[in-house]
Structure 1
């Protein structure tokens, strides 16, 4: 999620490009600061220091620290939403090529991409899974919506239509989120990646 600062001196960027660069840097600074200090311990001054912008620039784009956090959270949810879309497209391509993979294999592929993305973007992952609890009900509602979409994707993979099967999908998402959060808090990204096998086995037991 990192974004390079603008070059010093004269440049040929448009006003829109400058604003987009500043915004990207502030969102990245928000996420990176919270990895170290948490939501409560991250003041606006820390965000603008890391982003290399003025306080005036910050408040031109965000109403408050919470507004900046919500928009950083939206960046994370957009990434996860794209993962779910890619998984759906992948299933369609498999069907067109002669038949989809079995549901457990489809889930394993989705899980692999999900865990790899979180491990590659730990600051963004922490915004979505850890600091969201301190940011108020609006942030929590966004998280709930994305978790629900993840459960829907799993239900589609396993054709889970009964109440018990849908509950199993929700339980699998909750277990995944809790285990991932634990490793994000401790900073153990290798352990996060290693969740793929036990979570795939859990899905087989619950839904296979």
Structure 2
């Protein structure tokens, strides 16, 4: 068995992860008659949920192979047919979750709405994913920071991709409003760090007023990027955003 890890390309990311209740059911009797790729896909998703559940519950370091395979309802043999080790399984789960979050944000930004409303929709999509799947968020966002060097590197790469998404959105704003300042790399990194902190806090304070917290995240993001005019109008009833800087 090769130890080479070849992440799938972005185009192979599933648009959704199936509901956990569907995935965690055992495969039907006679599943050996199903195409191998169908069975393996179901097993991979089950293992993603299993490692997320265990890591969210126990932390990455204390999660064992026995924990993962028992929770997923698969054998160790099956696990090693799909992944080289615990880290590989976690990294692939992180890749899928991160890809889905980014896909949601990009879809929200690629609409006919105003540039300000696109940003609000993108941040809401980001927040909704965290609220809808708090277990995945806790495992693949909160615990990723303390997991392993390779996983921390993957987290840093994902954060760099978020910075690129923000940078592309800002380019569209500057094309329409040349007075909007250029964002430095440090500024983009601080905005992404704020988003990460928001995600961590959201998983820990699920009972809080989500709308109010999301409003704070949007105001922080816009202010950090010099969009003070829009930031001042957040929470008002007007949808006429006007100039972003004043």
TM-score bin (small chain): 0.7 to 0.9
Output the CA distance in 2 between the equivalents of 1:73 and 1:17: 21
Q: Point out 4+ residue stretches in structure 1 off by more than 6 angstroms.
A: none
Q: Structure 1 residues 158 and 82 mapped into 2: Cα distance closer, same or farther (>3 Å)?
A: same
Q: Helix, strand or coil: the match of 2:24?
A: coil
Q: Helix, strand or coil: the match of 2:110?
A: helix
Output the CA distance in 2 between the equivalents of 1:51 and 1:139: 21
Cα displacement (A) at 1:166:
4.4
Output the CA distance in 1 between the equivalents of 2:35 and 2:156: 37
Instruction: Name the Cα RMSD after superposition.
Output: 2.2
Cα displacement (A) at 1:125:
1.4
Output the CA distance in 2 between the equivalents of 1:204 and 1:179: 15
Q: Structure 1 residues 31 and 151 mapped into 2: Cα distance closer, same or farther (>3 Å)?
A: same
Cα displacement (A) at 1:136:
1.8
The equivalent of 1:9 in structure 2 is 29
Matched, 1:175 2:194: yes
The equivalent of 2:208 in structure 1 is 191
Q: Structure 1 residues 56 and 7 mapped into 2: Cα distance closer, same or farther (>3 Å)?
A: closer
Q: Runs of 5+ in structure 2 lacking a partner?
A: 1-16, 175-179, 228-246
The equivalent of 1:97 in structure 2 is none
Output the CA distance in 1 between the equivalents of 2:92 and 2:209: 25
Q: Structure 1 residues 199 and 157 mapped into 2: Cα distance closer, same or farther (>3 Å)?
A: same
Output the CA distance in 2 between the equivalents of 1:53 and 1:154: 40
The equivalent of 1:64 in structure 2 is 85
Cα displacement (A) at 1:191:
3.1
Q: Runs of 5+ in structure 1 lacking a partner?
A: 95-99
Cα displacement (A) at 1:141:
1.8
Cα displacement (A) at 1:85:
3.1
TM-score by length of 2: 0.72
Aligned length: 197
| Residue pairs, 1:22-171, within 5 angstroms | 22-90=43-111, 94=112, 100-101=113-114, 103-159=115-171, 164-171=183-190
The 8 Å contact of residues 180 and 192 in structure 1, kept in 2 or not, is answered as no
Question: Higher helix share goes to which structure?
Answer: 1
